[in-house]
Structure 1
Amino acid sequence: MFSIGSPAKVESNLALKNIPSDMENVLYLASFAANSHNAQSWKLRISHSNKTIELHLDEKRLLDVVDPENRELYISLGCYIESLQTSFQAYGYEMITQDIAPNKENHYQVAIISYKKKENSKPNQETIDIIQQRHTDKRKYLSQQIDSKTITNFTKRYKDMSYYQAGSSEYNLLKDKSIEAMTEQTSNIEFLKEQDHWLRFSNKEVEEKKDGISGDMLGLNPILKSLYYLTTNHQNSTSQTFAKQSIDTLKNQVENSSGFFVITGNQTISDWIRVGRETQRFWYDCVKEKIAVQPISSIIEVPSIKEEVQNRLNLNKDIQMIFRVGYVKEYGENISPRRNLEEYISVSD
């Protein structure tokens, strides 16, 4: 039981041909970006001589059922761009991003990134720590309310952001509709099959695949993680018994929060990427304030429920992100597995 419930030991290989070690560290840190299902749906092509990076959506790592327009994945790429920029800055690099309109012909390239090492620069450990601490926290949060000045600062700093405090009618709407949306989703066998593809049910599976959602990421303590791995597998994770457990877990989460932050935006790829960059910056700010964060996506993934919620909240743009937030006793750090760099990064001279 102790062995099963112990943390997975994922060792990511950072080695890349012709890339200096500090740059390898930058690229590894960048992969700690928030991303849907921990699918890590990014692909990079680095020109070592030109000091440029082409960033592409990885067509082999799509979420066709919950994300048929790739909205979540483009938001994830926006998170990656912001994470990459922050990582470059932490290691003394300058970075300039040129946005590209992705299409099939350019292999869904979203940006070309130029980078340059600044002279006599040293790593900024404080920034590195913030990058490594940022994570999704699915545990129960404390009942303490978020500081009002913090809420005001966030809603002023980030475009199209609103906050709904626990106990308000808006909060209850988001809570109830999240559960309703999850209930509808889990009645769909195709949703359950896609979810199963990204779930990991043993430390061995986590250590081999280095992606997806592990028991550690679910916030389970060693005993609960052991029971989870012993009783759940890829054969029964598409059952209605497992679906009911998922709904019960979501209920417990949304009923134990300080509130919800919501970001809205336009339904365009460029705005999805913008939302991703703001999401990553917002999350870093939450790390600094020791505010735990969990994205709640079920409402957004069920169009009819999303439209109803938008109308009832009087929002004039589409909901792009919903964040459950609150304080926790111990903040923790990012324990999500990350792939070897060479699996998604190619380097040319």
Structure 2
Amino acid sequence: MKIFYGVQGTGNGHITRARVMARELNAAGFDVTFQFSGRPADKYFDMEVFNGYQLKDGLTFNTHKGQVSYVKTALQAKPIRFVKDIGSLDLSGYDLIISDFEPVTAWAAKRQRKPVLGIGHQYAFGHDIPRAGGDPIAERVMKYFAPADIGIGLHWHHFGQPILPPIIETPAFPQSVQANKILVYLPFEDIGEVMTLLSPFENYQFHVYAPEPIASPYSHIQCKPLSRQGFQTDLYDSAGIISNAGFELASESLQLGKKILVKPLHAQMEQISNAAALKQLGYGHTMYNLDAAVIDEWLRHPHAVHVTYPNVAKVIVDWLKDGMPAMDADFTERVWEKVDVLQVSY
């Protein structure tokens, strides 16, 4: 089977999920062409698993100091380029089209009347799951940004809906953790402001990853460039993570039993909803602004949640091999039966 697989490149969560899917698809013998859009070509890193890939401009959201700006997003969009990319993408030679919220692929398939399988967290919003921060614009973006005929939604809990657990790496639980080591990933915030915010907490070691790292004036704060391997190494033995409320990183942190503090992007319904879900499930803490008092309280909190998720990428690949039968309640229930939730302390 030949598969065309489009991946939204804004942020790193979609790409992280695609890496896991790529390994399982390759192991199963599928012939896959990957396409990424949403960031400049020189900003992609650690892409070897995709065995060559193609890029499009696509669409992305403009952010400034932790908030999505729909006005700037519209002004910086390239609609003519977007329409041309859709028109020039030939999908006739492919047996299956998959979109991880990637709009060029989704709309090109729609134009060519080829059904699209959507895989990703955003497709869970087609079901009754925790939602917050919605408005008419956000609702329409979620619905029409990268439409799919069949959507496999992913979330940390099923909420009584036919959705699946996250697609993440499934490493062994860390045998040793540095109780004072905190990983920080707030790429949409001002990095200097973040380090100033963390500077009073001298009993902790902060490893801050940033798209454009700057020199840290503080001995207990390291600022590092984005690197999948370096990031995973620091995440593995840290006690907790401070991040925006993206889905994939929180999923990995739950799998590794890390304390979680999220600061959702303002005016971004998905992230605000993610923060609400983490709070509802008791899986993490939330701050809606960069708040030293909230960080102080969270750092003193010794408890975390360890959620063991199955290899959902393999579940989906096996489902593809079986001819994509209906994902009914019995199917999804069997997957969720393999999820285990434990409390841990540091």
TM-score, length-scaled by structure 1:
0.27
Structure having the higher helix fraction is 1
Structure with more of its chain in strand, by fraction: 2
Bigger RCO of structures 1 and 2 (CA < 8 A, at least 6 apart): 1
Q: TM-score, normalised by structure 2?
A: 0.27
